[in-house]
Amino acid sequence: MTETDQIATDPAPPSTAAVVAIIGLAIFTCWITWRAKKLESSLTPSSRPLALIHKPAPDFTLPSLDGKAISLAGYRSQKRVVVSFWASWCGPCRLELPVLKSFYEKAHKQDADFEFLAINLDEDRESAATATTKLKLPFPVLLDPGHRVADAYGVYGIPALFVIDKTGHVSFGETGFNITLEEALAQQLGVDPRLIFPAGGPNAAARH
């Protein structure tokens, strides 16, 4: 092989733009991994939200995906409120949200005295809207891109869920996906378990 042939077959060094793009991708990958580890909890529920139980829930007013401004204070003395913090990139959230959807569709009648509010923590509206459409969520989805409300609730991992009673106090809270969530919600919201578990309850099989 001649020197000319060797030069022709050697790969050209990457351009400056390519190097910058690779470095940028590496930085973004590190950042998104850190962000996910910081906010996305494991499947094991955490006791961190317990600090708010029996205390007044922090008030908030946030924009919803359909353009409305929704305020927690608007439900006071009228409805219990289930507040769920989630993000489109959160694996455990994708386990919890279908459970919340199923519970809501079975138990939330026109005269129901409770409401669900799903507070999304994505940085951009498009991610929240795409995930909401894909999951077909039947309850309001609110946007908290700066995590101001999440910080007020002490959310350090997601999914994080709180139940707020009609007096505006937190009666229940946990972080992480809980496989017994429907049972806990039925108890907290005063919902007849037969609406959620037509066969007689989650432990019916064990009793027979």
Residue 175 has pLDDT above 70, yes or no: yes
Which is more confident, 119 or 8?
A: 119
Give the whole-angstrom CA distance, residue 139 versus residue 141: 7
Give residue 207's pLDDT band: very low, low, confident or very high (50, 70, 90): very low
pLDDT of residue 198: 78
Q: pLDDT averaged over the chain?
A: 82
Tell me which of 3.40.30.10, 1.10.3720.10, 3.40.50.300, 3.40.50.920 is the CATH number of domain 48-202: 3.40.30.10
Determine which of 50-54, 76-80, 189-193 has the lowest per-residue pLDDT on average. 50-54
pLDDT of residue 110: 86
Which is more confident, 62 or 110?
A: 62
pLDDT of residue 1: 54
pLDDT of residue 51: 82
The model's pLDDT over 95-118, given as tens digits with 9 standing for 90+, comes to 999 999 999 999 999 889 999 999
pLDDT of residue 140: 97
Q: pTM for the full model?
A: 0.75
pLDDT of residue 208: 35
The rounded percent of the chain whose pLDDT value lies above 90 is 66
The rounded percent of the chain whose pLDDT value lies above 70 is 72
